[in-house]
Amino acid sequence: MKGKRAARVRIEIRAPRAYQAPGRVAGLRRAARAVLRRHGLEDRAALTVALVDEETIRRLNRIYRGIDAPTDVLSFPARVEIPPGIRYLGDVVIAFPYAVRQAQQEGHPLDGELALLTVHGVLHLLGYDHETGPERRRMWAIQREILRQLGFPEAPADEETPAA
């Protein structure tokens, strides 16, 4: 990709070092970049992905959605220009312990669950939603496509569970 800048995807880890297994941050960055690339934004967008504990996500869910319970992923769109020509899309916040449990319950790799949640959250930053059947089918189809490209064909991209 000569002449193109890499996406400015910042992965912020706000969690114990135990969440930072080898390759995990690179995997999150790769998933976020795949969504940006799919939408032609690989050199014109930035975003943050944060891994947090369940109390943090519960507090955010209570404040911003009025739901006093933990969830797996939340998205906070920003859509502002930082340097001219670079859009800051916003923040994706993933509850790491919640993601671990979901992966175990579904019987698929944690890396696949984290990729799903990252892709799901970034799609929300880009304006996708799953409130209606047609919106849900469109969003799930894009998730499945991106997850397959990332090597996670078994990730549950068509379930109701990502709640962001």
Residues at the binding site for Zn(2+) are 120, 124, 130
The contacts of residue 104 (CB under 8 Å, 6+ apart) are none
> Taking the CB of residue 101, how many other CB atoms lie within 10 A of it?
14
> Taking the CB of residue 3, how many other CB atoms lie within 10 A of it?
5
Cα(36)–Cα(146) distance, rounded to whole angstroms? 10
Annotated binding site: 120, 124, 130
Cα(103)–Cα(110) distance, rounded to whole angstroms? 5
